Amino acid sequence: MPHIPNHPSALKRQRQNQKRREHNRLIKSRVRTVVKKALDAIAASDPNAAETSLREAISTLAKAGSKGTIHRNTVSRKISRLSSRLHKVRTAKASQPAGS
């Protein structure tokens, strides 16, 4: 059973918390979606699409981090891992012979 506040200040605090929770859930969901799209684009063979989706993911992650929804170290780690994946794919494509 949920906690039911008795004082007006506690009622207001509960309303604020619910509002923030919904807002944070939307942002986190958007971040997960964009990161998933970036990973799919990196796994696909088109490097230009991967770069644009990575750019969008970085922007969304940075915005979520600046608002405090996601911790800034988490944002940095995710951006770093996405970038390194794209870099690995690019270097692997560049090192393949032209005939393959």
**Residue type at position 84:** S
What does the alpha-carbon distance between residue 37 and residue 33 come to, in Å, rounded to a whole number?
6
* Residue 2 confidence (pLDDT) above 80: no
* Residue 100 confidence (pLDDT) above 60: no
Summarize pLDDT for 22-68 with one digit per residue, the tens.
Answer: 999 999 999 999 999 999 999 997 888 999 999 999 999 999 999 99
In order of their start, the domains of the chain are 16-93 (1.20.58.110)
Summarize pLDDT for 59-96 with one digit per residue, the tens.
Answer: 999 999 999 999 999 999 999 999 999 999 888 877 87
* Residue 99 confidence (pLDDT) above 80: no
What does the alpha-carbon distance between residue 35 and residue 67 come to, in Å, rounded to a whole number?
18
What does the alpha-carbon distance between residue 1 and residue 91 come to, in Å, rounded to a whole number?
55
